[in-house]
């Protein structure tokens, strides 16, 4: 019965946080900066506080299904199914012709609930890599790769690690354009206006 929550989880993921926040300031975030409707592009175009707002809203799209699946349904496998649906909704929203964000903030919010200790370590890693490289895509890729590695070191159940890898593979695919720009040396930096 709890599996019926997968569809609502997908539509929760489609909530256009970046688009709505940017539109409130008269900006079409899909037509400026990198064009990606995500926290990094909002931060780059509008400033850090707006980027943090979008990140928090996108993270909630992962936190809510993780909480419902874990504490209401009482089943971590249901939680991960709901998380995957929400991440897919964020990346491929049917409400916006399947053109969404990269999914990192939504997955990060979910992992804050499912694996808080690992999330705390990865938070430090993200900040360190961002400060070192000045590129949010590199910091995000470090998280994508680091999550299953740390999960293995923390002896997380194998089915959970496999699920993390499957979801993160999609996140990595969504960073394909970023990886190409990184290889060409044309990737945007995290310049943040006041």
Which of the four pLDDT bands, split at 50, 70 and 90, describes residue 191?
low
- Is the pLDDT score of 145 beyond 70? yes
The token pair at 156 is: 């997380």
Residues 6+ apart with CB under 8 A from 136: 40, 43, 130, 190
Q: For all residues of the chain together, what is the average pLDDT?
A: 93
Structure confidence by residue, pLDDT tens digits, 68-91:
999 988 999 999 999 999 999 999
pLDDT value at residue 194: 35
Domain range annotation of the chain: 2-184
Confidence of residue 3 (pLDDT cuts 50, 70, 90): confident
**pLDDT tens by residue, 106-134:** 999 999 999 999 999 999 999 999 999 98
- The pLDDT-based confidence of 193 (bands split at 50, 70, 90) is very low
The per-residue pLDDT for range 149-189, each reduced to its tens digit, is 999 999 999 999 999 999 999 999 999 988 999 999 888 77
76 close to 114: Cβ distance less than 8 angstroms: yes
DSSP3 helix / strand / coil % (the chain, rounded to 5): 75, 0, 25
For the record, the structure tokens of 56 come out as 């928090």
Residue 4 has a pLDDT of 85
Mean pLDDT of 21-44: 92
- Report whether pLDDT(95) > 80: yes
C-alpha closest to that of 91 among 178, 174, 19: 174
Non-local CB neighbours of 108 within 8 Å, separated by 6+ positions: 59, 62, 119, 122, 143
């Amino acid at each position: 019965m709890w599996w019926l929550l997968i569809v609502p989880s997908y539509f929760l993921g489609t909530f256009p946080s970046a688009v709505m926040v940017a539109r409130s300031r008269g900006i079409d975030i899909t037509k400026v900066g990198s064009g990606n409707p995500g926290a990094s592009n909002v931060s780059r175009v509008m400033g850090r506080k707006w980027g943090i707002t979008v990140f928090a809203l996108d993270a909630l799209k992962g936190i809510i299904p993780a909480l419902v699946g874990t504490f209401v349904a009482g089943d971590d496998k249901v939680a991960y199914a709901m998380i995957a649906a929400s991440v897919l909704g964020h990346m491929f929203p049917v409400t916006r012709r399947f053109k969404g964000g990269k999914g990192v903030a939504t997955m990060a919010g979910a992992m804050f609930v499912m694996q808080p200790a690992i999330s705390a370590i990865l938070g430090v890693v993200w900040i360190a890599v961002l400060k070192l490289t000045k590129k949010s895509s590199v910091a995000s890729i470090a998280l994508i790769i680091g999550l299953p590695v740390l999960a293995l070191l923390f002896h997380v159940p194998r089915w959970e690690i496999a699920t993390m890898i499957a979801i993160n593979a999609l996140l990595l695919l969504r960073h394909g354009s970023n990886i190409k720009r990184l290889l060409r040396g044309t990737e945007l930096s995290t310049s943040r206006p006041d």
